[in-house]
Chain A
């Protein structure tokens, strides 16, 4: 299994979709879909995320890796499947910004980890808070690219707090990478440096909830 994991990691880093899918398919003989998520996909995407933090992997590699894993999971675990993790209720959006790559990567990573998640696209703070309230979202993931948009998270926090069931707010994106205390300043509940951090934050949230 370790050999297969290593081959999968290399195939994902090289953006070799067919090879990666072939290795994942081999694993289906030995592992259940949930075991593939927990023992293979989650740890490998986390390794790639850590490599990015160290400057050893690039965003394009994270993007392609998460997309390949997401597509594979979609095939063996469709969105409506009972095998999917439907709790907590998750949503993601880009705040006031059309730089959407970060959101796409996190969205794909979350889905590749077996979760169901709503994608709101790009919205302003007020509209996003209204959608979140209407859908009773429990954990909201927000991506920003520009500092201006990152600072708008403060407005979003204020709008969300108007409701007594405000969601757990998780933020990420370039400004938060260059200023690691910014997530606290804008009132988020947690901040991630890469897409795998989002998974750890969601898993932690789930554990604490139980």
Chain B
């Protein structure tokens, strides 16, 4: 008997096998394509995003509504610049924060930012339209990773590695913002939050530095968020820090294609739900045969015992991925994703 997407997802959060492996097609821009709009126009109104997400749900029959608009939307609330393109996600402009100002800084009020209010409106409307059938996924940038957009990677690394006092002051400010922002989204209608934390990945910092910094920030922040959280490393490696990630209290982790899924599953040992498995960058070129093969291989490798959601590795499917490929992914999940699944 078919169950709702929400039930399916909650079943894998309990590390049990549902009727079918859940599929999260984390499409943020394809709704614009479907509606014949430019990307800047699409993101200008909450109503467009709600319509776009609803169309994606109907078209592909996947298992979530993604209320994430674009990564630097939080930066707009802080007064930073966002650059819009017609062929890719909006990107943060020049870094705007001077590390010398951190001590006198206050986080923005999430209910006073037009950009953030737009996201909350999307979540309210999605909840009204789709109720409890489909999980609505919100996104909050980790306080530990946000500084890359606030001040630029180099300045942030200089503080992180050389100026402990300033680093922790900044974390304190960013944590307040992240907690308020995540909880506002939960209140507006999100069922779960993705906590994007690429800087914590082993790709960016060594595990021992994560333990004394990003992990501490995550522990302090996640416990204040009123709902399940999924820590996403945006394609960054996390195998070597998996035990510490579990310690932060997160419910899920988004894993990288740079690491073998069997190794990740073995180390995780069913302690947390994992999601990912599909390479969003190469996906652009996948033939129907290759798509079926990639999906089948990932499903068969990760199905045992539940606890896995099929998704892209990065947390956002690139604009350049053709809709045919998305169709073929959904089709392959329907073909190969029904439990019981042979390994």
Contact = CB atoms under 8 A, between A and B. Distances in A.
B154 interface: yes
A55 B239 CA distance: 9
Interface stretch (A36-44, A97-105, A130-138): A97-105
Contacts, number: 79
Contacts of A175: 281
A60 B208 CA distance: 12
B74 to A, nearest CB: 16
A58 B237 CA distance: 10
B91 A179 contact: no
Interface string A50-80: 0000010111110110000000000000000
Given A55-B240, A151-B320, A179-B279, A104 B154 contact: yes
Interface in A122-174: 146-149, 151, 174
Contacts of A63: 154, 157
A147 B161 contact: no
A64 B235 CA distance: 22
B167 interface: no
B279 A178 contact: yes
Given A100-B152, A178-B279, A179-B279, A60 B204 contact: yes
A178 B281 contact: yes
A59 B279 contact: no
A182 B85 CA distance: 21
Contacts of A97: 91
Nearest to A122: B94
Contacts of B240: 55
Given A15-B161, A58-B205, A178-B235, A146 B152 contact: no
B87 A148 contact: yes
Q: Which of A58, A148, A149 has the most CB of B within 10 A?
A: A58
A146 B88 contact: yes
A104 B92 CA distance: 18
A151 to B, nearest CB: 7
Nearest to B257: A178
Interface string B113-140: 0000000000000000000000000000
B276 interface: no
A64 B161 contact: yes
Interface in B140-155: 152-154
B260 to A, nearest CB: 10
Given A58-B206, A63-B157, A178-B281, A147 B320 contact: yes
Contacts of A178: 235, 257-258, 279-282, 313
B258 A100 contact: no
Interface string B189-205: 00000000000001111
A146 B89 contact: yes
B181 to A, nearest CB: 23
Q: Which of B85, B92, B203, B319 has the most CB of A within 10 A?
A: B203
B228 interface: no
A99 B88 contact: no
A179 to B, nearest CB: 4
A146 to B, nearest CB: 6
B153 A101 contact: yes
B52 interface: no
A55 B258 CA distance: 8
A101 B93 contact: no
Contacts of B258: 55, 177-178
A32 to B, nearest CB: 31
B92 A60 contact: no
A100 B206 contact: no
A149 B157 CA distance: 24
7 contacts: A15-B161, A58-B205, A58-B206, A98-B95, A104-B154, A146-B89, A178-B235
Given A58-B203, A101-B154, 4 more contacts: A55-B259, A98-B95, A100-B154, A104-B154
